[in-house]
């Protein structure tokens, strides 16, 4: 197998009964390519994929051969569309408890401080923001779009809004969060607002992200990880306080699941890209 840029790579091993929903390729230059590999579901995350992502990040903590990471989605239709609505996610009966399988899918949630660069092709929406919010920076194809469908389906966008509010000006994330499925943020506008650090031609996001990650991997790892940790510390306190309110806001403001499902079934396919 060959990684982008012609580097030999190794595919992550999976157990015989395990679905390879997360594909890992490593190269001698210290860059690992992590790919959400469910293109038939627009790389949506089900509980198995969430567990696989967490396991990958935690494995990288002790793998000194991996010094930087590129995160992407298989195919060009979508980077990730958040939680897989067809997946069964059991919830506690207590109104004071909720299980969110996406809270543990990011690198920082798993105590990984090696830099992660996101390569976005196609759609990135909803729960994808759990991942994008924990990457160091984003590279995107000119065809990429960003949107948050929560309000359209009667759900509070809490964690997603908090994570992305630290990457975007307030007015931009407010518009993105509140407009629901009626509007998508185009790659050019995302670049203008600072959400995206580099634009590429269609299909070029992974190669560009990998070039940047190779530079990061070539520098002393301790210095790079310490800088990532310092950058994260500058945002951590405000994020932690905001996230603490998220469960209550979701419980108070979201419609019951059956009503959400009805809105989802009746959704319009019309939207504008700005």
What are the residue boundaries of the structural domains of the chain, listed by start? 18-83+99-204+219-273
Which tens digits make up the pLDDT trace of 3-16?
Answer: 434 333 434 443 33
Give the alpha-carbon dihedral of 21, 269, 101, 261, to 10 degrees: -130
pLDDT of the residue at 197? 98
State the distance between the two ends of the chain, measured CA to CA, in whole angstroms.
39
Distance CA 107, CA 268 (A): 34
pLDDT of the residue at 1? 34
pLDDT of the residue at 95? 67
pLDDT of the residue at 50? 96
Q: What is the mean pLDDT of each run of 10 residues along the chain (274 residues)?
A: 38 44 97 98 96 98 98 97 85 76 95 98 97 98 97 96 95 97 98 98 98 98 98 88 88 91 88 92
Number of H helices, E strands in the chain: 8, 12
Which residue has 């996406």 as its token pair? 102
- Selection from 209, 164, 163, 204 nearest residue 185 by Cα: 164
Where residue 203 falls (left for φ over 0; alpha for ψ -120 to 50; beta otherwise) is left
pLDDT of the residue at 11? 42
Which residues partner with 116 through β-bridges? 69
DSSP 8-state assignment for residue 155:
-
Which tens digits make up the pLDDT trace of 205-247?
Answer: 999 999 999 999 999 999 999 999 999 999 888 888 888 889 8
pLDDT of the residue at 17? 36
pTM passes above 0.95: no
Report the topology of domain 18-83+99-204+219-273. Answer: 2-enoyl-CoA Hydratase; Chain A, domain 1 (3.90.226)
pLDDT of the residue at 3? 41
pLDDT of the residue at 22? 98
Distance CA 126, CA 150 (A): 7
């Amino acid at each position: 197998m060959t990684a982008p840029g012609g580097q030999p790579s190794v595919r992550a091993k999976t157990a015989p009964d395990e679905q390879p929903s997360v594909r890992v390729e490593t190269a001698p230059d210290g860059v690992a390519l992590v790919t959400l590999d469910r293109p038939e579901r627009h790389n949506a995350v089900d509980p198995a994929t969430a567990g696989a992502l967490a396991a990958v990040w935690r494995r990288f903590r002790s793998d000194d051969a991996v010094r930087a990471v590129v995160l992407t989605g298989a195919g060009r239709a979508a980077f990730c569309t958040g939680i897989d609505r067809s997946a069964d996610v059991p919830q506690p009966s207590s109104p004071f408890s909720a299980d969110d399988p996406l809270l543990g899918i990011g690198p920082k949630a798993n105590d990984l401080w090696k830099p992660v660069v996101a390569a976005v092709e196609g759609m990135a929406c909803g729960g994808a923001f759990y991942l994008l919010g924990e990457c160091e920076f984003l590279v995107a194809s000119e065809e990429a779009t960003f949107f948050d469908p929560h309000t359209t389906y009667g759900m509070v966008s809490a964690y997603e809004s908090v994570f992305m509010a630290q990457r975007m000006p307030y007015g931009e994330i407010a518009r993105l969060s509140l407009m629901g499925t009626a509007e998508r943020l185009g790659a050019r506008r995302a670049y203008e607002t600072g959400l995206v650090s580099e634009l590429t031609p269609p299909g070029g996001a992974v190669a560009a992200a990998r070039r940047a990650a190779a530079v990061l991997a070539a520098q002393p790892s301790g210095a790079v990880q310490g800088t990532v940790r310092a950058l994260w510390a500058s945002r951590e306190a405000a994020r932690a306080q905001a996230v603490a309110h998220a469960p209550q806001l979701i419980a108070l403001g979201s419609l019951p699941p059956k009503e959400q499902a009805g809105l989802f079934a009746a959704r319009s396919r019309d939207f504008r890209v700005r």
